[in-house]
Amino acid sequence: MKKILEQVTILFAGNSGDGIQFLGSQFTQTSAALGNDISTLPDFPAEIRAPQGTVAGISGFQIHFGSVEISSPGDLCDVLVVMNAAALKKHIPFLKKGGIIIANTMGFSLKNIQLASYPKEANPLKELSDYSVHEINILGQAREILKDTNLSKKDQDMSKNMFALGFIYCLYSRPLGYTEDFLKQKFQRKPELLSANLKVLRAGYNFGETSEIFTERFVVKPADMPSGIYRNITGNQALVIGLTSAAMRAHLKLFYSGYPITPASDLLHYFSSYKNLGVKSFQAEDEIAAITSAIGASYAGDLGITGTSGPGMALKQEGLGLAFMLELPLVIINVQRGGPSTGLPTKTEQSDLLQALYGRNGEAPIPVLAPRSPSHAFEMGFRAAKMAIEHMTPVILLSDGYLANGSEPWRFPKSNQLEAIYPPYPKENDTESYLPYRRDQKGARKWVFPGKAGYEHRIGSLEKKDETGEVSYDAKNHERMVHLRQAKIDYIQKELPLQTLDSGGRPGKLLILSWGSTYGTIRAAMKVLLSEGYAVAHVHIEYLYPLAKGLEVLLGDFEKVLVPELNNGQLVRLIRDQFLVDVISLPKIQGMPFTTSEICDKARELLV
């Protein structure tokens, strides 16, 4: 018997060596291929080698998929798959009452129970009367299947995630073919590992069909999405493709330099895979070298890109000021994480907004953009590069850990559908009228590469004389240059699209204002609030500096304004400063995204 469901949330959890991220990503890829809408939330241990079997060492992967629009990874999960006692202890608060627990029984030995800090000799699986608990000897089954192979015990044990995956595929009527094809590619040079993983995957599926643990199986039909070609994409992947596409549209080479830092390290890996498109990637010795080498690349005529997270952004500030004074195109990606300092390196946060806006000495206004979802990172990466090139300015792109590692379906465009990008080169053979800091109507100076005869010029970090670029300590010239550089930002604001409502109507009682990764959860909450008849609307900000025009008018149309943020109220400060509106802050600083219920509960409280 099969039961049709609109949407399902599954959470996989186990030791960081149990292949949980691989398990979750394969289920995601298969569901995306079947046409489901998807949102995922990977969760990594903060410690590199946390003790196995402890709560600190648990890795998780949550996937929310359905035949309806999915904009968040879900609040509480319908199914919790746990490989040991610590995984259960960490994630049981996130399972719905009456939800399904699938537990690997060998992960609930006395040792594992004690490592998870449960009371001695008390199996927690026996105390879960509010849930549907299914104990399966996942590890034992995998070992039995592979007992006659030459694989080591370690390799046999690592295959248990394939048994769990096959079982869940069966439960939710997912085919094995997509994962089988992936395994054949991954282990094409290791036939014994390929055979073992395929055997265990199929055994898990067959176990689901024959064990009669469940009297019914579930079906989630494809979502009704616009026609086109889709792929599943993470935020970091989308940024790389968006920036690379922008460089190609501008007929430029792209140079990316970075220093490994969680959760931005993947950017370097992804950029390095596009050598065939003229992308040059460089792992620098530190964060300062990363930004200055990118500046050098832009000076030489490439599109310079650098990426980091909060602590690395602090080290890049002097280089950022240099790029601003040189007026060269540069995109700086900050994949935010919990801070300050090392903080929570694997947990998400939005706490670097004020750093991006104000974290420089002197008057140094730099545009700041933020994607709202993993797939939207492509568009914002492209826009950031276009803005940097056409206006000859550094641009800061604020992503975060949730967007970087989370994934969703992306309908990708064809290259001829992308906007044109026009670098501000000087006219050929116009050396007589050329001055290095003479500006066009946008306030941008011309981009001239070294070695171009007749266009020799000086650049540097000292203040420059207007137009000529000569070093100047004249007081009035300095003030003029400050105003000219601000005028460039003011012109950028004129080019931004007018700020509009994302959902709801105006005027109303409550406006929910968001930026960055809070978008998806707030969009889901809006559906609930509007269905309940509340006079509520939602505005999402993509351009944090300069702010798009029209926002002030929207703010004035509502009695109250609520700003949920994964920080202690940073956008709140900006809105109060710019518009003198007494907005209400809803902060969350726990390293985790908002849930729909948290947004709805606060909105209802304000709407009473």
303-357 tens-digit pLDDT: 999 999 999 999 999 999 999 999 999 999 999 999 999 999 999 999 999 999 9
340 upstream amide cis, omega within 30 of 0: yes
The count of residues in the chain is: 608
Query: Residues 394, 291: one domain?
Result: yes
C-alpha 36/C-alpha 39 separation (Å) is 10
Q: Would you state the pLDDT for residue 212?
A: 86
Same domain, 520 and 547: yes
| pLDDT of the residue at 132 | 95
Q: What 3-state class would DSSP assign to 476? A: helix
The interaxial angle of helices 20-33 and 177-186, nearest 10 deg, is 130
Report d(CA 169, CA 182) in Å as an integer.
Answer: 15
Percent residues over pLDDT 90 in the chain: 91
Distance CA(123)–CA(116), nearest Å, equals: 11
- Same domain, yes or no: 368 and 351: yes
Tell me which residue has tokens 């798959």.
81
Domain boundary among 185, 220, 255: 220
What CATH number does the domain containing 34 carry? 3.40.920.10
Mean pLDDT for 173-195 is 95
Do residues 299 and 328 lie in contact, with contact meaning Cβ atoms separated by under 8 Å? yes
Q: The pTM is what? A: 0.95
Of 356, 386, 417, the one marking the end of a domain is 417
CA 596/CA 538 separation, integer angstroms: 14
Q: What is the pLDDT of residue 1?
A: 79
Q: pLDDT-derived band of residue 233, with 50, 70 and 90 as boundaries?
A: very high
Query: What pLDDT digit, counting tens, does each position of 473-528 carry?
Result: 999 999 999 999 999 999 999 999 999 999 999 999 999 999 999 999 999 999 99
- Write out pLDDT tens, residues 100-157: 999 999 999 999 999 999 987 788 999 899 999 999 999 999 999 999 898 999 889 9
How far is the CA of 502 from the CAs of 287, 386, 524, in angstroms?
Answer: 37, 24, 12
Does residue 540 surpass a pLDDT of 90?
yes
Over range 72-81, report the average pLDDT: 96
Q: Are 581 and 575 in contact (CB under 8 A)?
A: yes
- What confidence tier does 433 reach under pLDDT thresholds 50, 70, 90? confident
Greater confidence (532 vs 150) lies with 532
Q: What is the pLDDT of residue 429?
A: 81
- pLDDT beyond 80 at 438: yes
Q: How confident is the model at residue 458 (pLDDT cuts 50, 70, 90)?
A: confident
Q: Are 14 and 140 found together in one domain?
A: yes
Total structural domains within the chain: 4
- Regarding whether 259 and 215 lie in a shared domain, the answer is no
pLDDT at 428: 84
Q: Is the residue at 240 inside a domain? A: yes
Residue-wise pLDDT for 347-369, tens only, equals 999 999 999 999 999 999 999 99
Residue 49 is assigned to a structural domain of this protein: yes
* pLDDT tens digits for range 253-265: 999 999 999 999 9
387 with 433, same domain: the answer is: no
Note the pLDDT of residue 557.
97
Do 164 and 274 belong to one domain? Answer: no
Give domain status of residue 226, yes or no: no
Residue 445 has φ and ψ, to the nearest 5°, of -85, 165
- pLDDT band (50, 70, 90) for residue 451: confident
The amino acid sitting at 304 is G
What is the model's pLDDT at position 552? Answer: 97
From 474, 495, 516, the end of a domain falls on 495
For the ranges 82-91, 149-158, 465-474, which has the lowest average pLDDT? 149-158
**pLDDT band (50, 70, 90) for residue 22:** very high
Do 128 and 242 lie in one domain? The reply is no
Q: What's the mean per-residue pLDDT of the chain?
A: 95
What is the pairing mode between strands 508-515 and 407-411?
A: unpaired
Give the percent of the chain with pLDDT over 70: 100
Which structural domain, as residue segments, surrounds residue 338?
Answer: 231-417
Distance CA 604, CA 581 (A): 21
